[in-house]
Each structure stands twice: as C-alpha cells, then as structure tokens.
Amino acid sequence: MKYLNLLLGLLALVATSAQAAPKQPNIILIMCDDMGWSDLGCYGGEINTPKLDALAKGGIRFTQFYNTGRCCPTRASLLTGLYPHQAGIGHMTSDYGLDAYRGDLNQECVTIAEALKPAGYRTYMSGKWHVTPYNGSELKNPDTHNWPLQRGFDRFFGTIHGAGSLFDPNSLTRDNTYITPDNDPDYQPDGTWYYTDAISDNTVRYITDHAKEHADKPFFHYVAYTAAHWPMHALPEDIAKYEGKYDEGYAPARTARINKLKKMKLLPEHWEPAPLIGDWSQVELKEWESACMEVYAAMVDNMDQGVGRIVQSLKDTDQYENTLILFLQDNGGCAETFGRGKLVGPLERPDKPTLPAMGKDELQTEMIPPQSRDGYPLRRGDGVMPGPAETEVGYGRNWANVSNTPFKEYKHYVHEGGVSTPLIAHWPAGIAKKGSAFRKTKQGNLHDSPSHLIDIMATAVDLAGTDYPANKDGNTIKPAEGISLAAAFSGESLDRGKPIYFEHEGNRAVRDGQWKLVAKGVKGAWEFYDMEADRTESTNLLESKPELAEKMIAQYDAWTEHAGVVPFNSWKKDQKKKKK
C-alpha cells in the first residue's frame, strides 16, 4: 500500500505538471496601414478606439517599437524576421536587378507561417500581402509563386497589391483566385461591401471555422488592414461620428494629444515635441481639409470595430485566454500628396451614375479606378469631399504631422515619426500583470525596451516551441535577426545585445540602447540623439559625441555589407540605364 500511494502521488504530480505546462498559444498578428504614432486612443489620440484600448489595458503597450518606415519593406521584415533587404525587398515591389532589391520575397527566407507549420499550427491570412509584384494584365494565369498559399498559409482572403479602393480593391483574391466584391461566393455582406469590414469578417470566419474543424491545433492568423492608407474611403455612419471634430484645425488636435500623452506617461516633460507644420489660418478650403481628417478617423474607427469582432469571436469559441494578439502599424503618418491639387473629374457627385456599371465578374485592375462599380466617375483634387467610392483623396502632410505627434518626419523616413509604431500585446494566459520592467499607468502597463519587427518571428518561434529552420526546400535560410519578446511579456527588460538598423531610400539610422544615429536622404548629414533625453530628436549631439557617433557610423557601414544595402541613387540610376 505504501508503494501504491507513492506511485499514485507521483502520477498525480506528473498530471499536475502536464496541466501547468504552457500550451502553444494561438497568435493573431494585426497590422494597420499608414497611421501615426498617436492616432489610437491608448497612445494619446482622440479617435474612438475602445477595442484596442481595452486590449492595451489588459496587456502591454510597447513605447519604443519600430517598423521600417514603408509598407512593403515592413511586411517583408515582419513576415520573415529579417531586415527587408535580406528578404529581397530593399525598396518596393519592382526588380532593380540586385538580390536585395528584387521586389519579390526571396527563397532564402521563411515566413512566420512557414516556420510555425512544422509545430502543428494552422495558418490564415486576411488583408494586404504586398511582398510580390502585381501585374494587372495577367488575370487569367497570374504568377502565384509568392502568394500567401505558396508561402505557408492555409487560407487567404485579401489583396496582392499594396493600395487601392476600399470599396473595389484591385487584386482582390481568395486563396489563389482573383475575385470581385460582387462574385465572391464566400462573403456577401448584408450592407455595403467595405474592405476593412471584409478583412475583419473573414478573420472572424477563419477563427470560427478553425474552432470547429481544427480545435486540437493552435493557429497563426496574420490580419493586414489597409486602413488608414489613402484613399480616404469610409462608411457614412462612421464618418458621421466625427462631423465637426476637426473644424478648429491642426493646432487644437495636436495640443490635445500632447496633453493626453503627458497624462498617459508616454511623453516626458523634458521632451520637446516636434514643431507644428500646418497653419490653419492659411488654409483656404477649411471644410474640405477638416473633412479629410474626419474620414481618416472614421477609417481607424471602423478598423477598431472589426478588432472588437475578432476578439469576440475568440471568446465565443473559447480561444481567447490562450491567444496572443499583437497590434502594430507599418509606418508613420503619410505626408504624400495623393489625390490633392488639380481637380480630376467633377467636383460634386452627379445625381446619378453617368457611366455603365461594372459587371459582376469584371475584375478591378487599377489602383486608382476610373469609376466606382456602380458607374460614378472618378473624382479627386482639392475640394473633392473624401469618403465615397469614386473619390481618391489623401489627408495630406499637415494632418500627418498631427498623426505623428510628438515626433518629426513621416512615412518614408527613419526619424521617429517615420519608424515608430505602437505595439499592443495582449495574452491573458501568458502576459504578467506585474514586472520590474513595466511602468504602470491607469491605461495599463508600458514597456520601454527598444524592439523591432524582426523580433516578431523570434517571438512566434519561441512561443510555439519550435526551431527556426536552417534549410527549406533545398534553400539555405538566412538566420533570423531578432530576439524573442517573451521576456517582456514576463515583465522583464529585453537584452538585445546588438543595434537595430534602418535604411529606406537613402534614409538611414542605427538605434543602439539610448543612442540613435540618423540621416535624411542619400546626401543628408548624420545626426545623433540621446533617446532617453530627447526622443523627439530636437537636439543634435553629433559635435559633442563625435567618438560615439563614429563608432555607430562604422556599425552602420558594416551592417550595409551584411544586409546587402546599396546606396539608393546608384541602383536607381543603373536601372534607368538598363531601361534605355
């Protein structure tokens, strides 16, 4: 009996240990498009984002997380755990004849989906792909070798191309087949077809189907919204929430954000916010200018509603507690002049469509459609009120400056306004409530360790309990560059051990601990900043810290050799010569 009791005790201990052992979490990676650092409510903004705010309060907000400053390089880096040049997308999705600038995800990398499948994960994607070229003339037999299903995903709904209408996006695809909003047999909403809703709703469907069909397996889901990338398209009911919200112009919105950021402990008093760019008194079309920001806010609001539906689907299928949700954005606010300036098409919407409606099976191939699907002609330029399907307008540099409060510069650049992103991490079963590296606020815990897109792959592999592959399909895979964020989830600081690097269009930077070396453009001079004292990059310390700056310049030069970075103007010029 004594030995029997001992055996039973040992068995009970083993059973208890097995129950306590961490189970592979589901992972949902959500990325939005072209948003500023302080647009979300939980990062200081006035836009209504209660669902994301709730995730932040129940999880962690990273204060110093970085992207690459541009859409497709960020997606390449996020998916592979490499710097974008190493994955073949050092610029955009055009081939410039160099391995780092093929504009097509190479075979010397693996995606997170490919890395997790051997660990038993089912893999899904909804939204924008944008890591391979799109050719709108190849509709019957497109080159799908680098589409999601060929890069590790089991199911896909979204777009291959990087930009387009939110009511009729070009390159709309389900799995490996181009579709239209009208002929997709798997998704026909009761109301208006709107791409942000479609991404959210298809994500919910994949989560629900997974619970029914593969409940014994974990899943990885990549959700890539196009909101709030131009054009400024939104649903009337979402726009109505923000009517008059921005009628007083840029300064009041920016001032309110600065005050809120300070209260939330996201903006120390000793940081000098970047200057306000816009002068509202000089704006001639004030109603139009404020409407651009109203529609932008509506786009973000709608995305937040979709995030809420995704979270609810996890709760409804009993997958909420052990799902890690990560939310971030691909670059800073967009100062591009898209759709502004010269008037194209009628200023006002005609009383009725003036062009033939598109057929149910007629594919949209244009980033800027010449008409809406129901026959309204394209309208863009100063004074064209944004929102409807036939309009093509961006919100402009001045609002991008507000979006990026308190940082300077924008998308394309690698100053803080271009590469800083919120990162919200939420995982009820896996994120600690307390930790030595957390700063506690009323809105939830903050974590200040500098980190980067390259860390997401390392984190996913770590939490899945699998190995990052050295080879795949006969190809040698480049070693991942990042570190796991698991320590941060436990409330500990991250021991990076090496700098973080940036390069895009000649804009370049190195972040090493509290120091940042940065330059704007190929010919731009190096600048040097103390990120603890001055993350808003207002006081250049290059002359007072010459030895440290020189050390980091040497680090950058060595990294360019490692990553295959070539000076921006040189390969652009070489390509022009080849075309001639």
Query: Is the preceding omega at residue 231 within 30 degrees of 0, hence cis?
Result: yes
Per-residue pLDDT at 573 = 59
In this predicted structure, the answer to whether residue 3 has a pLDDT above a threshold of 60 is: no
Q: What is the pLDDT of residues 229-262, one digit of tens each?
A: 999 999 999 999 999 999 999 999 999 999 999 9
- Report, as an integer, the average pLDDT of 124-129: 98
Q: What is the pLDDT of residues 547-571, one digit of tens each?
A: 999 999 999 999 999 999 999 877 7
For 133-246, strand residue ranges (E) read 155-159, 172-174, 177-178, 219-224
If pLDDT is split at 50, 70 and 90, which confidence band does 352 have? very high
Q: What is the pLDDT of residues 374-391, one digit of tens each?
A: 999 999 999 999 999 999
Per-residue pLDDT at 389 = 98
Per-residue pLDDT at 569 = 76
- Report, as an integer, the average pLDDT of 22-29: 91
Q: Which amino acid is located at 26 in the chain?
A: N
In this predicted structure, the answer to whether residue 312 has a pLDDT above a threshold of 70 is: yes
CA distance 91 to 574: 15
Q: pTM of the prediction? A: 0.95
Per-residue pLDDT at 479 = 98
Q: What is the pLDDT of residues 393-446, one digit of tens each?
A: 999 999 999 999 999 999 999 999 999 999 999 999 999 999 999 999 999 999
Give yes or no for a contact between 193 and 202, defined as CB atoms under 8 angstroms apart. Answer: no
If pLDDT is split at 50, 70 and 90, which confidence band does 503 have? very high
* β-pairing verdict for 155-159 and 471-472: unpaired
Per-residue pLDDT at 575 = 60
In this predicted structure, the answer to whether residue 268 has a pLDDT above a threshold of 50 is: yes
What does pLDDT average to over the chain? 95
In this predicted structure, the answer to whether residue 14 has a pLDDT above a threshold of 90 is: no
In this predicted structure, the answer to whether residue 15 has a pLDDT above a threshold of 50 is: no
If pLDDT is split at 50, 70 and 90, which confidence band does 22 have? low
Q: Which residue has the tokens 């652009």?
A: 572
Residue 158 DSSP class: E
| Chain centre to alpha carbon of residue 159 | 15
CA distance 397 to 412: 13
Q: What is the pLDDT of residues 171-187, one digit of tens each?
A: 999 999 999 999 999 99
555: which 2 tokens?
């680090």
- Report, as an integer, the average pLDDT of 75-103: 97
* β-pairing verdict for 122-128 and 155-159: parallel
65: which 2 tokens?
């997380």
334 or 18, which is more confident: 334
Nearest in space to 178 (alpha carbons), one of 202, 132, 216, 144:
144
Per-residue pLDDT at 7 = 44
In this predicted structure, the answer to whether residue 574 has a pLDDT above a threshold of 70 is: no
CA distance 47 to 477: 42
Give yes or no for a contact between 396 and 335, defined as CB atoms under 8 angstroms apart. Answer: yes
Nearest in space to 135 (alpha carbons), one of 176, 94, 102:
94
If pLDDT is split at 50, 70 and 90, which confidence band does 572 have? low
Per-residue pLDDT at 539 = 98
3-state DSSP assignment of residue 117: helix
If pLDDT is split at 50, 70 and 90, which confidence band does 9 have? very low
Angle between helices 396-403 and 250-263 (to 10 degrees): 10
Q: What is the pLDDT of residues 452-492, one digit of tens each?
A: 999 999 999 999 999 999 999 999 999 999 999 999 999 99
Number of helical H runs and strand E runs in the chain:
14, 18
Q: What is the pLDDT of residues 127-147, one digit of tens each?
A: 999 999 999 999 999 999 999
Side-chain-side CA neighbours of 285 within 13 Å: the count stands at: 12
In this predicted structure, the answer to whether residue 17 has a pLDDT above a threshold of 90 is: no
